[in-house]
């Protein structure tokens, strides 16, 4: 709302988004935040993600800002005709439905590329083509089979990561692929199909652990019991039962740390001379450091680590981030209206371009909020739109 779309990098790019849940909508949100016009094609009753409970309640408002909503029944030939007209003029078509679903509607890449050879078609799937592609995948499924849950939980207790990491990153890679394909189209004049997948995304996330085994010959231990590359890199229980994350990851930082707390004995201990020495000494060193740190409050430790330029972090709950001073001072949160009329704030993309954050230009849309506008843009008259609405082919917001 603070910057016109025309000044953004993807201004003039048209996207038809045929997605739901998290992965596909993340791709569309990134393209929309960067200035593309993203038309979200929804069923007449709306994307089912709008009505999820529990951990899914935040999906729709998080990943559907800066988009236009077109409510249409694609099971009706007249509804499919609307989507085909949009695809014929689009730069990008994005989908994340089960294999074969788009082909049944005539909206697969093979069909749409004949209609629009310049179209970049982004498919978000569970698996890239191969032996697993027939399987149904979810973020938690691929975390379990892809080693991430094993690495996250304690020994024998695989635990999913605390966010939809594969869905979100899979959507990011879909957007990266789309932008790469658009750049290549400038050279070739032709579009192409881009594929992004949950499982392969998860494998990329655990690649460092695979390579650790390749380099050392030893399997990576789950994160709670891993051998850290850094000597001090842990959560500490401190005064009054508080917790704080403290890190000392270089020899220079070790000297600063020892001086800040008066640990001359530890600084002089030859067994702790280098980071690797301290890693090898963790079995006895960490209990000693925990004992010494336990007499300090989290606030005192924060102040001393801040003064010394040492890494530290409070243990923060997500809802507490609405009041984070850095996010609020730097414009990292934008005011947003939810489809039900309530207002809140939402995190913007974690990047700045030319020193500015990419802005919120429009709130998550209500169902069919832009149906009339979109149909008029592809040649439908007000009478046509009334007839289609009366027949239940499209959903038009009143007003």
Whether 114 shows a pLDDT value over 60: the answer reads yes
In this structure, are residues 341 and 367 in contact, taking their beta carbons and an 8 Å threshold?
Answer: no
Strand 67-72 and strand 394-395: pairing? antiparallel
Q: Which two tokens stand for residue 324?
A: 């984070």
299 assigned to some structural domain = yes
Rounded to 5 degrees, what are φ and ψ at 42? -120, 155
State yes or no: pLDDT of 212 exceeds 90: yes
Same domain, residue pair 330 and 312? no
Does one domain contain both 9 and 120? yes
Q: Which residues contact 214 (CB under 8 A, 6 or more apart)?
A: none
Query: Coil, helix or strand for 68?
Result: strand
Burial 151-169, CB ≥16 within 10 A → b, else e: bbbeeeebbbbeebbbbbb
Note the pLDDT of residue 5: 66
Burial class (CB in 10 A: 0-12, 13-18, 19+), 260: middle
Residues 234 and 379 in one domain: no
Confidence of residue 147 (pLDDT cuts 50, 70, 90): very high
Task: Tell me, yes or no, whether 176 and 138 share the same domain.
Answer: yes
Both tokens of 354, joined, read 């030319």
Q: Are residues 190 and 130 in the same domain?
A: yes
CATH assignment at residue 259 = 3.30.1540.10
Q: Taking 70 as the threshold, does the pLDDT of residue 199 lie above it?
A: yes
Residue after which a domain boundary falls, among 297, 318, 339 = 318
Residue 59 has pLDDT above 60, yes or no: yes
Confidence check: pLDDT of 399 > 70: no
Of 276, 299, 318, the position where a domain reaches its end is 318
Integer Cα distance of 336 and 339 in angstroms: 10
Q: Does 398 score more than 80 pLDDT? A: no
Query: Is 353 part of any domain?
Result: yes
Q: Residue 347: which CATH number?
A: 3.40.50.10540
pLDDT in tens, 272-330: 999 999 999 999 999 999 999 999 999 999 999 999 999 999 999 999 999 999 999 99
User: Cβ distance 154 to 160 under 8 Å?
Assistant: no
316's tokens: 């923060």
- Percent of the chain topping pLDDT 70: 98
Mean pLDDT of the 260-269 span: 97
Tokens of 189: 């004049």
Give yes or no: residues 46 and 79 share one domain.
yes
- Please tell me the predicted confidence (pLDDT) of residue 226: 76
Q: Is 90 exceeded by the pLDDT of residue 227? A: no
Residue 384 lies in a domain: yes
Q: How confident is the prediction for the chain on average, in pLDDT?
A: 95
Per the CB < 8 A criterion, the answer to whether 146 and 199 are in contact is yes
Q: Tell me the average pLDDT across 55-68.
A: 95
Domain count, the chain: 2
Please give the residue range of the domain that contains residue 295.
228-318
| Residue at 264 is within a domain | yes
Q: What are 154-166's pLDDT values in tens digits?
A: 999 999 999 999 9
219: CB partners within 8 A, 6+ apart: 213
Average pLDDT over residues 222-240: 89
pLDDT digits (tens, 9 = 90+) for 136-145: 999 999 999 9
- Give 330-367 pLDDT, tens digit per residue: 999 999 998 788 999 999 999 999 999 999 999 999 99
pTM check: above 0.85: yes
User: Does residue 328 sit in the same domain as residue 304?
Assistant: no
pLDDT, position 360:
96
Q: Terminal CA-to-CA distance of the chain, rounded, Å?
A: 23
Query: What gap in Å lies between CA 125 and CA 133, rounded to an integer?
Result: 8
- Those residues with Cβ within 8 angstroms of residue 137's Cβ, 6 or more apart along the chain or in another chain: 125, 126, 127, 197, 198, 199
Both 156 and 40 in one domain: the answer is yes
Residue 142: C-alpha distances to residues 96, 97, 201 (Å): 16, 17, 9
Residue 211, domain member (yes or no): no
pLDDT confidence band for 397 (50 / 70 / 90): confident
pLDDT at 3 over 50: no
Nearest to 141 by CA among 121, 173, 164: 164
Number of other CB atoms surrounding residue 350 within 10 Å = 8
Mean pLDDT over 245-256 rounds to: 96
User: What is the C-alpha separation between 366 and 58, in angstroms, rounded?
Assistant: 15
Query: 2: pLDDT confidence band, cut at 50, 70 and 90?
Result: very low
């Amino acid at each position: 709302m603070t910057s016109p779309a025309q000044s953004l990098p993807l201004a003039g790019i048209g996207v038809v988004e045929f997605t739901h849940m998290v992965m596909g909508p993340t791709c569309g949100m990134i393209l929309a935040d960067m200035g593309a016009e993203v038309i979200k094609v929804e069923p007449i009753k709306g994307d089912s993600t709008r009505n999820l409970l529990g951990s899914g309640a935040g999906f729709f408002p998080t990943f559907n800002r800066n988009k236009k909503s077109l409510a249409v029944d694609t099971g009706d030939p007249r509804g499919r005709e609307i989507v085909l007209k949009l695809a014929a003029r689009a730069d990008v078509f994005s989908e994340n439905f089960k294999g074969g679903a788009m082909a049944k509607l005539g909206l697969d890449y093979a069909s749409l590329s004949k209609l629009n050879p310049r179209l970049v078609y982004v498919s978000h799937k569970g698996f890239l083509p191969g032996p697993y592609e027939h399987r149904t995948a979810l973020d938690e499924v691929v975390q379990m089979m892809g080693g991430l849950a094993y690495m996250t939980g304690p020994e024998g207790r695989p635990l999913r990561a605390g966010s939809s990491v594969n869905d979100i990153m899979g959507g990011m890679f879909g957007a990266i692929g789309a932008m790469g394909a658009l750049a290549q189209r400038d050279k070739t004049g032709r579009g192409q199909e881009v594929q992004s997948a949950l499982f392969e995304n998860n494998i990329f996330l655990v690649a460092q652990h695979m390579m650790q085994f390749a380099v050392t010959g030893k399997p990576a231990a789950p994160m709670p019991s891993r051998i850290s590359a850094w000597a001090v890199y842990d959560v500490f229980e401190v005064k009054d039962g508080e917790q704080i994350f403290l890190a000392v990851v270089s020899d220079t930082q070790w000297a600063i740390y020892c001086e800040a707390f008066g640990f001359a004995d530890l600084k002089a201990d030859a067994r702790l001379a280098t980071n690797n020495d301290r890693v090898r000494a963790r079995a006895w060193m960490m209990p000693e450091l925990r004992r010494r740190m336990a007499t300090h409050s989290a606030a005192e430790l924060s102040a001393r680590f801040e003064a010394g330029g040492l890494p530290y972090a409070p243990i923060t709950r997500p809802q507490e981030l609405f009041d984070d001073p850095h996010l609020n001072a730097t414009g990292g949160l934008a005011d947003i209206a939810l489809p039900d009329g309530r207002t809140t704030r939402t995190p913007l993309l974690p990047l700045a371009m030319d020193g500015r954050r990419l802005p919120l230009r429009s709130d998550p849309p209500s169902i069919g909020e832009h149906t009339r506008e979109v149909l008029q843009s592809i040649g439908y008259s007000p009478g046509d739109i009334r007839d289609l609405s009366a027949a239940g082919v499209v959903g038009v917001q009143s007003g």
